[in-house]
A = this chain, B = another copy of it.
Amino acid sequence: MNRALSIRSNKNKESSSGGTRHGFSLNSLRGTVQPELSKKLYKLIKSENHLIQCYENAGKERLSIATQLSDWGEATTDDAISDISDKVGVLLSELGEQEDLYAHNIDDSRAILKAIRNTEKSVQPSRDHKAKIADEIAKLKAKEPQSAKLVTLEQELVRSEAENLVAEAQLTNITRQKLKEAYAAEFAATIERAEKQIILARHGRRLLNLLDDTPVVPGDVRPAYEHSNQARQILNDAEDDLRDWQPELEDVPSSAQLESNLMPREQHQQIAQSDMGDESVLHHQHAQGGSSETGVDGSRISSGGSVTTGQPLDSYAPSESEATRSQVA
């Protein structure tokens, strides 16, 4: 592992300011047009698909080679080679099955990453919306500093900031949980393939030891092959070992107890029932950049009581979380 302790590319930096993309529609969700925020993960998930195909193809080639080896061995009309090549073929084909299983397991891990990507997608409009209103306010302030529309826009900005706070919390929650989950699964799958293939390969080497490669001189006939029972026993041993295999993994525990709205479980009721609209509280939190208290306290954005802005945030936030939910599912 002669490499640096980082593999970051640190080149080809794209501007990742996501505030400039507009016109993002549900249509483009399924297409190749990705919002800035989910572009990198979108590509990574595509690459994972290529990786999966590589392993699927490797599995298929292995199976084909296994059959070919067995057929070749039979055609030699040498009993020893015929039996050993057939049994080695059985082990090779099982190596191939393990490649295929690995491909499926990576696919499961890939599906977990999609939950992050989908949340990234759904958070982008929230960031865009906030940026757009801030932009409008700045323009209007320069043009018509006394415009009555400024008050409405300021109120709208506060609502969009509250909405974005929720979205960003959802994003960090899902990102950390799913990143951990996806790669814990991928590493577990790597270990499973490895341990099972070690079983197969070790028995494979035992099989090869049944093949006497003492050279003969012309006209000599080789002693009769007498190891077919031993060879069969080795396959049985391999089968037993595979059946008895159990994963022995260091646990990767998750602290994520997320509701479907991507909020901590114990907070769900409070948030859902609150009006989520006390702008002074929101502003305060936002301005100070949030506190780092470890206690999970939903009262921050849900002080309840009167809604001072034109419409309750509820009308926006739930639709957002619903959208996220349906995409994650």
* Residue positions of A touching B, CB distance < 8 A: 1, 3-9, 16, 40-41, 43-44, 47-48, 50-51, 54-55, 57-58, 61-62, 64-72, 74-76, 78, 80-81, 84-90, 93-95, 97, 162, 165-166, 168-169, 172-173, 175-177, 179-180, 183-184, 187-188, 190-191, 193-195, 197-198, 200-202, 204-206, 208-209, 211-224, 232, 235, 238-239, 242-243, 249-250, 252-258, 262-265, 267, 271, 282, 285-286, 289-294, 296-298, 300-301
Contacts and interface: CB of A to CB of B under 8 A. Distances in A.
B216 A264 contact: yes
B187 A205 contact: yes
29 contacts: A1-B242, A6-B70, A9-B71, A40-B71, A47-B64, A50-B61, A78-B175, A78-B176, A80-B176, A169-B217, A169-B218, A169-B220, A172-B222, A176-B211, A176-B212, A177-B215, A179-B208, A183-B208, A190-B201, A190-B204, A191-B198, A191-B201, A208-B252, A214-B255, A215-B262, A217-B300, A219-B286, A220-B293, A220-B300
Contacts of A68: 40, 43-44, 47
Nearest to A281: B219
Contacts of A58: 51, 54-55, 58
A236 to B, nearest CB: 8
A175 B263 CA distance: 65
B194 A198 contact: yes
Most B CB contacts (10 A, CB to CB) among A89, A202, A204, A205 go to A205
B86 A214 contact: no
A214 to B, nearest CB: 4
A254 B296 contact: no
Most B CB contacts (10 A, CB to CB) among A7, A62, A81, A285 go to A7
B212 A188 contact: no
A44 B16 contact: no
Nearest to A256: B213
A40 B75 contact: yes
B70 A5 contact: no
A320 B1 CA distance: 47
A212 B190 CA distance: 23
A258 B214 CA distance: 9
